Amino acid sequence: MKKRVGFFLFSLFSLNFALAQTISISGTVKTQDGDALHLAFVQDRITKSGAYTDSLGNFSLAANPDSKLRISCFGFKDTLISINNRTSFAIVLRPSVNITANKAADAPASDNINQRTLTDQVNLDNAVRNVTTQHLTPPPPPQPTVSEANVAKVKANLYAVPLGASVSDGHPMQQPNDVALSQGSIYPVFTHKEATEGSRYLFGDWVHGYVLNSKDSIIQSPVLFFNYDKIGGSLLLSKDKHSAVAVYNELIKTFTLVDQLNQQYTFTLVPEIDKTHFVQIIASGNSYKIYKTIKTKFVAADYSTNGIASTGNAFDSFQDEFTYYILNVKTNSLQKLPLKKKAIKEVFAQEPDKLNKFMGENSGSSIDDSYLASLGDYMNK
C-alpha cells in the first residue's frame, strides 16, 4: 500500500513539475495557399499535451516554453517548430509527395521527421506494446487462445450490447464479462431504435482523438477513430468505423477525444475514485485537480396500464449519473465536490478572497463543467 501511495505522489509531483513550466499558446495551421487545415494535430513534445485544429485552422494548448511543437496532418509533411517562449504561431504545412499518416509517438531527435508509410504509422503493435488491431473481424469459430508472447492483449467485450437493445432483444444486459483475447473485435452500434433515450457510448459516432500510453508515447493517426464505453469502462478503437477493439485500461495513461464541435474531453484512471472506469479531467494544475465520473445504467421500458391509470416509461433508456471530485495536490486530499456554491466555498475555505473574486466575476454563470474548468484554472494560478 505504501508503494502504491508513494508512486501516486511521485506521479503527481512529476506532472505538477511539467505543468509549472507551461504557457498558453495558440495559432493557426494552414496550407501554402492559405487554406485552413481542419483536424491538424499539434503536440508539445515535452509535456505530451496536444490539440486538434478547428474548422478555421485554429488551435490552443498549454505547452512548455522550451519545447518544440510537432504538427501533423493527413497528406502533409510533419513539421517541428521551436516554441522559444512565443505564444502565437502561424504554421504552414507543405503537402507530402506520398500520402502518409502520422503516428505521433517518440519523434526522431532531429528536426527532420522521416515520412513513413501509412501501414507502418498505424501499426499499434509497435506503439502500444502488442495491442492487436490487425484482425478487426470476428475470431474464427475455435476458441481463441492467448499467446504468452502477447503480454498486452486486447480485451473484447462479449456483452457489447447495441444501443437501444433490451433484454427481449436477446442481448444480456448484466455487467459485461471482459475476456482477454489475442485477437477479436466488438461491433458497437451508435444508432438507437426510436424509443430509446440516452446512450451507452460517450458519442453518437466515432470521433478523432489521441492516447498517451503507459510508455509516455502519443498514439494518434487520422485513420484511427475512438469512442468510450461508459458502461464497460473501455476505450474503443476502430480503423473502419464498424468493428473495434477495446484496449486494456492499464495500457493507457490518458486519452483525449474530440467531438464534432472540436471540444476536447480528456480522461485518465484515478483508482482512488474508480478502479475500473476512466474519469474525465475537468481541470488540472499545481494546486487543484477536478475530476468527473460518469456512471451509466440501462433501464428497460416498464410501462403498464390497467385502462384507468398508467405507470412507468414506454421506452428503454441509458441514464447517466455524474459525480465530481477535487484533489488538493498540496495536501493530497481527495473529496467529492457537489455543484453548490456552499460546497465550493467549503472546499476552498483556505483561499476565501481569491474564490470570492472568481465567484463575483462569474455570478451569472450556472455551475457546470465549464464553470468548474474555469474555477480550477483560476484557483491554480
pLDDT tens readout for residues 77-127 = 999 999 999 999 999 999 986 544 444 444 443 344 333 333 333 334 333
Cell, residue 237: 478503437
Whole-structure pTM value: 0.71
To which residue does cell 495559432 refer?
27
Where does 278-356 show beta strands of DSSP type E?
Answer: 279-284, 288-299, 304-305, 310-311, 316-328, 333-336
Q: Is the pLDDT of residue 270 over 80?
A: yes
pLDDT of residue 175: 30
Q: Taking the alpha carbons of 5, 10, 13, 16 in that order, is the dihedral positive or negative?
A: negative
193: pLDDT confidence band, cut at 50, 70 and 90?
low
So what's the pLDDT on residue 126? Answer: 38
**Grid cell 510537432 — which residue?**
70
Least confident span in 72-76, 177-181, 296-300: 177-181
Instruction: Tell me the three cell numbers of residue 134.
Output: 490487425
Please give the distance of CA 91 from its chain centroid, rounded to a whole number: 26
Per-residue DSSP letter, 65: T
Residue 208 contacts residue 39 (beta carbons within 8 Å): yes
Contact present, 36 and 56 (Cβ < 8 Å): yes
Enumerate residues 6+ apart whose C-beta is below 8 A from 375: 283, 290, 344, 358, 362
The pLDDT of 340-367, averaged and rounded, is: 96
Distance CA 307, CA 68 (A): 70
Q: What are phi and psi of 81, to 5 degrees?
A: -130, 130
CA angle 132, 138, 141 (to 5 degrees): 115
10 φ/ψ angles, rounded to the nearest 5 degrees: -65, -40
Give the containing element (helix H, strand E) for 379: helix 369-379
- The pLDDT assigned to 5 comes to 42
CA distances from 297 to 85, 276, 368 (A): 47, 15, 22
H/E stretch holding 63 reads strand 58-63
The pLDDT score that the predictor gives to residue 96 is 87
Q: Which of 59-63, 151-155, 192-196, 290-294 has the lowest mean pLDDT?
A: 151-155
* 20 phi/psi in degrees, rounded to 5: -65, -20
Dihedral pair phi/psi, residue 11, rounded to 5°: -65, -40
- Compute and round to an integer the Cα radius of gyration of the chain: 22
Q: Are 309 and 266 in contact (CB under 8 A)?
A: no
Mean pLDDT, the chain, integer: 77
Closest CA to 341 of 381, 315, 372, 314: 372
CB atoms within 10 A of CB 262: 17
Helix and strand numbers, DSSP H then E, in the chain: 6, 23
How many other β-carbons are positioned within 10 Å of the β-carbon of residue 252?
A: 21
Q: Is the pLDDT of residue 306 over 70?
A: yes
Instruction: Give yes or no for residue 9 having a pLDDT over 60.
Output: no
Residue 312: per-residue pLDDT? 82
Task: Map grid coordinates 460518469 to a residue.
Answer: 294
Q: Could you identify the residue written with the cell 502520422?
A: 102
51-89 confidence digits (pLDDT tens): 999 999 999 999 999 999 999 999 999 999 999 999 999
Between CA 194 and CA 166 the distance in angstroms is 13
Count of CB atoms situated within 10 Å of the CB of 168: 9
Amino acid letter, residue 196: T
pLDDT of residue 186: 66
